Amino acid sequence: MKILLLCNKPPYPASEGGPMAMNSIVSGILKAGHQVKVMAVNNEKYKVSEADIPEDYKRKTAIELIDVDLRVRPLKALLNLFTKKSYHVERFISKDFKNRLTEVLEKEQFDVVQLEMLYMVPYVETIREHSKAVIVLRAHNVEHKIWERIAKETKFFAKRWYINHLTKTLRDYELSAIETVDGVAAITRKDAAFFRKYCSKPVIDIPFGVYPEEFTPKSEIEGKPKFYHIGSMNWMPNEEGIRWFIGEVLPKTVEKVPDFVYHLAGRNMPEWLSALKNKHVDVVGEVPDAKEFVFNHDVAIVPLLAGSGIRIKIIESMAMGKTVITTRVGAEGILYDEEVNIIIAENKAKMVEAIRAIDENPAIAVRIGQAARKLVEENYDNRKIIARLLMFYEEIKPGSKISFL
């Protein structure tokens, strides 16, 4: 098969959640012996130069980066209040992207066009006009659910009112958009169940996959456990979760574990965090090798209060044999067994207790980390996941009698 991926940001380099999820699809399809072409929005927050992409990757994917200005324009944001359109989605509509997509579709024939995230759905009409390809929406999240949770956590009335407006228009767009494609590949079973409830099209769950052999596990702990978090901080749920942990959980934690240190790695650290002066928080920032950072630490604390989809950094930590302490929101989409291969801490008291227990008895983390690695090997091997996706492509083609409904 020949597959065109339309991405809301470049899948290479795979240095944060979205690109990592996209790149796992790209690499999986290529390894399965199929052809892939990538067209990606290139924007100021995740700017990539084609010169920095390896020649082998460019050759295999024929990747094209189209500059799209996604900066929030105050006037446009204000005027959007008087429309029913989603401002989140409107920012991704680009004449340059549409024109180049038209040229590609008129020149090449594709069996499948996969839209990586909701924000690429505005190009469905162009695809229909110039191609007979099956169109699949790869839903990394139920997008409006993220903003619903953020709105609930927002205390300032005017800001909460505006976020609620954005959430409603995004929800309306999302529920209409899923009817315009031929199939939806959600990233979790929970998200797939949501889409099946509101969508008449075939839906499947296709989680994020890894190649376990590429992750060297290290569950053993030498000395005191090292607690960490790694993730891009320009994703609002990550920042809000870390803010909550530092403000609410950390003071109680140091009462129980006086020498506790939380090591924070990731791109785009906000100014308030970079300027933080707290001996219990080590702001590492962006690291040259994420796997090396995780290998040299022991227990991931992922204090997510909002979000949808699957936490890729959690899957990767588990692949490296690490224990993960997170909320139920953080663990959404993962086929976990509580206290067996992950620790669920739904509130600050439980999170403090989990940290204290592991600090006093590191063997807990060793046992859970080893079980986490086994879970990844059994359920998140990318070869198995891509095989299901390719079958889904075949079965939603016109004339197929098999349905994933």
Q: Which residues lie below 8 Å from residue 362, measured CB to CB, with a gap of 6+?
A: 221, 224, 225, 298
Q: What is the pLDDT of residue 146?
A: 83
Identify the helix (H) or strand (E) that includes residue 139.
Answer: strand 134-139
- Higher pLDDT: 26 or 189? It is 26
With bands split at pLDDT 50, 70 and 90, how would you rate the model's confidence at 308? Answer: low
In the block, tokens 């690490």 appear at: 322
- Which domains, and CATH codes, for the chain? 2-209+381-395 (3.40.50.2000), 212-379 (3.40.50.2000)
Vertex 355, ends 349 and 357: CA angle to 5°? 100
pLDDT tens-digit map of 120-150 = 999 999 999 999 999 999 999 889 988 888 8
With bands split at pLDDT 50, 70 and 90, how would you rate the model's confidence at 305? Answer: confident
With bands split at pLDDT 50, 70 and 90, how would you rate the model's confidence at 404? Answer: very low
- Per cent of the chain over pLDDT 70 is 98
Vertex 171, ends 98 and 101: CA angle to 5°? 10
With bands split at pLDDT 50, 70 and 90, how would you rate the model's confidence at 401? Answer: low
Rounded to two decimals, what is the model's pTM?
Answer: 0.81
The two three-digit tokens of residue 253, written as one number:
């934690």
> What does the alpha-carbon distance between residue 236 and residue 206 come to, in Å, rounded to a whole number?
24
> What does the alpha-carbon distance between residue 138 and residue 175 come to, in Å, rounded to a whole number?
14
Half-sphere exposure of residue 303, counting CA atoms within 13 Å on the CB side? Answer: 25
> What does the alpha-carbon distance between residue 204 and residue 146 come to, in Å, rounded to a whole number?
21
Residue 383's CB: how many other CB atoms inside 10 A?
12
- Higher pLDDT: 375 or 329? It is 375
Q: What is the pLDDT of residue 159?
A: 86
With bands split at pLDDT 50, 70 and 90, how would you rate the model's confidence at 405? Answer: very low
For residue 273, give Cα distances in angstroms to 245, 283, 346.
Answer: 12, 7, 24
Q: What is the pLDDT of residue 345?
A: 97
Range in 45-49, 305-309, 398-402 the model is least confident about: 398-402
Q: What is the pLDDT of residue 275?
A: 94
The two three-digit tokens of residue 241, written as one number:
């979760």
Average pLDDT of the residues of the chain: 93
pLDDT tens-digit map of 353-363 = 999 999 999 99
The two three-digit tokens of residue 312, written as one number:
């890729």
Phi, psi of 294, deg, nearest 5: -65, -40
> Average pLDDT for residues 139-163, to the nearest whole number?
87
Cis (ω within 30 of 0) for the bond into 303? no
Residue 235 has pLDDT above 70, yes or no: yes
Query: Both ends of the chain: CA-CA distance in Å?
Result: 23
**β pairing state of 203-205 and 281-285:** unpaired
> Average pLDDT for residues 78-100, to the nearest whole number?
91
Answer whether 253's CB lies under 8 Å from 349's CB: no
Beta bridge partners, 135, equal 113
Helix (H, G, I), strand (E, B) or coil at 265: strand
